[in-house]
Structure 1
């Protein structure tokens, strides 16, 4: 581990509650990225409610991870040495701090049935949920729990769902590799680079959702996270509370392209927010060399990141689908 890491980091921490009756095993994670703390606040509130007796876990198992990446959290930034939510997998030769996190976190995820991963985002925008693929037997992300994910999506308390993450990211890595050249190396050129917590969970036979609770500093984001946890507990029957009603007519979008920054001086044409509408030909930004980046078709911009580093995700493009109509 690099010598400049703080030496007084707390150990990895998870909190486990078990009900008397059988039920699903749910894990809720927060601060996978250290500057995304709304989920941490919501989990701290939940622990207080359970420990005080105000809320009782009646069935199944609930595991809470309030700070998944303690180094990034301590530093108040997205990552310690690298993005934990990329190329997530155990390794026999840990070199970066996030490798040690993965060696602890991956077995913990695999011991559960369901994951709710709580995040926030940089640009302004409304909360939304990232959902996995339709059931399939393909080689990239085979899956058989789409119905379970879709049912929980409708009960988290948000009105927008986005899918297509891993397939879009895999195509983006192919372009990144082509641009970098045959001699280039790096984790961000790994075909598995798009695998994060939810993708790893699905690879282990479970199912998972990522809830983007709002902008990092939005004071409403911890409440979005709190409501989603409580709704999940009720929906999965881990608590003796009425199940939340299913939302109908949700907006559904599918990612279809990720565009990287090539140089730190690449600039957006305006302060984009996630899900701003695009028309074919709209100018999204300009490269340092003067190349104008335009929308290829009608759709939405997602995760615009003006602060992205070179060879990292600058923005995503998405199109509407009828999946949650």
Structure 2
């Protein structure tokens, strides 16, 4: 796995919380907590720090746990994922600890989980895997490399866009099929089964270390719990109604890097609408990469421009 050696151009405004009080868990798995309501309802899960340098989700879960948030129906699971990378976080080099050995959010193919490969992230994924087996609704809380409009990533199936609309934030919802480099946790098992009701969302709350990412992580988690019937609507008392209507998009192409060098034509940050078909976005080993149609939105252009990685996703606005 390539070492992450990316200079940081953004101010670190967030202080990651101390998660040591949650180390023991109550499920037999460290840092995983589940609370039962005793009433019928879905099994709902909020997960954070799939990437160790994304503290907004940890701040949101810490906030909910400190409030003794409990389900009024079904069960509620709080899951702190890539603890090793999170504990290695250094605000002086905040890009370096996205992972320890490999990307935790690319190891969720069953063949990989059941295989012989070994890494810090795979050991943790195998450890927490049983928790995911009976989850009906998952919100996986993330953040982004660039300052860009927040996104709710809804996967391939319409049921997730419907759930995203019930959550109501952020303004942009993007359906996509993930990455060639490996399967995400939000696409694991029944979440990606077209015939199953299990539904997962992945929110990108803004730039990794901007203060507003923490605020959106808390709000989206609260709205998700209300939307799934896990807590009462009174829980939203501290949050104003969302401004504006959501707009939905679907990724039509994920640009996977084929060569040793990929260079963007300009410093894209994400959310840009590229008006004209044929606009050159960059060069992959000298080969131009262009937009295949008019009016496409750029989704999370990457700084990790290595062969096999996703350089950028291209999304069409839904009718």
TM-score, structure 2 normalization: 0.77
- Name the counterpart of 1:315: 312
- Name the counterpart of 2:288: 292
Asked if 1 retains the 8 angstrom alpha-carbon contact of 2:152 and 2:164, the reply is: no
- Name the counterpart of 1:165: 177
- Name the counterpart of 1:21: 39
The runs of 4+ residues in structure 1 deviating greater than 6 Å are 243-248
CA displacement at 1:242 relative to structure 2: 4.2
Asked if 2 retains the 8 angstrom alpha-carbon contact of 1:235 and 1:243, the reply is: no
Indicate whether 1:131 and 2:154 are aligned: yes
> Structure 1 residues 319 and 304 mapped into 2: Cα distance closer, same or farther (>3 Å)?
same
- Name the counterpart of 1:302: 299
Q: Give RMSD over aligned pairs.
A: 2.6
CA displacement at 1:116 relative to structure 2: 0.6
> Structure 1 residues 49 and 243 mapped into 2: Cα distance closer, same or farther (>3 Å)?
closer
- Name the counterpart of 1:202: 191
- Name the counterpart of 1:57: 71
Give me the whole-angstrom Cα distance separating, in 2, the residues matched to 1:35 and 1:224.
17
> Structure 1 residues 247 and 115 mapped into 2: Cα distance closer, same or farther (>3 Å)?
farther
CA displacement at 1:97 relative to structure 2: 1.7
Further displaced range: 235-244 or 206-215:
235-244
Q: Matches of residues 32-111 of structure 1 in structure 2 within 5 Å?
A: 32-50=50-68, 55-66=69-80, 68-76=81-89, 77-88=97-108, 89=110, 90-91=113-114, 93-111=116-134
Instruction: Identify which of 248, 251, 270 aligns with 2:247.
Output: 251
CA displacement at 1:26 relative to structure 2: 0.6
The 3-state SS of whatever aligns with 1:46 is: helix
Query: Any unmatched runs of 5+ in structure 2?
Result: 1-19, 24-28, 90-96
Cα offsets for 1:192-240 (capped at 9, x unmatched): x2x2111115157421111111111121011111011111222222223
Cα offsets for 1:103-152 (capped at 9, x unmatched): 122211112211110011112211111113346xxxxxxxxxx1x65134
CA displacement at 1:316 relative to structure 2: 1.1
> Structure 1 residues 287 and 131 mapped into 2: Cα distance closer, same or farther (>3 Å)?
closer
Indicate whether 1:116 and 2:147 are aligned: no
CA displacement at 1:43 relative to structure 2: 0.4
Give me the whole-angstrom Cα distance separating, in 2, the residues matched to 1:267 and 1:151.
36
Instruction: Identify which of 255, 274, 283 aligns with 2:270.
Output: 274
Give me the whole-angstrom Cα distance separating, in 1, the residues matched to 2:126 and 2:254.
28
Asked if 2 retains the 8 angstrom alpha-carbon contact of 1:267 and 1:306, the reply is: no
Instruction: Identify which of 203, 224, 235 aligns with 1:232.
Output: 224
> Structure 1 residues 308 and 105 mapped into 2: Cα distance closer, same or farther (>3 Å)?
farther
Query: Any unmatched runs of 5+ in structure 1?
Result: 1-8, 136-145, 174-187
Asked if 2 retains the 8 angstrom alpha-carbon contact of 1:118 and 1:225, the reply is: yes
> Structure 1 residues 118 and 22 mapped into 2: Cα distance closer, same or farther (>3 Å)?
same
Give me the whole-angstrom Cα distance separating, in 2, the residues matched to 1:215 and 1:226.
15
Give me the whole-angstrom Cα distance separating, in 2, the residues matched to 1:78 and 1:157.
25
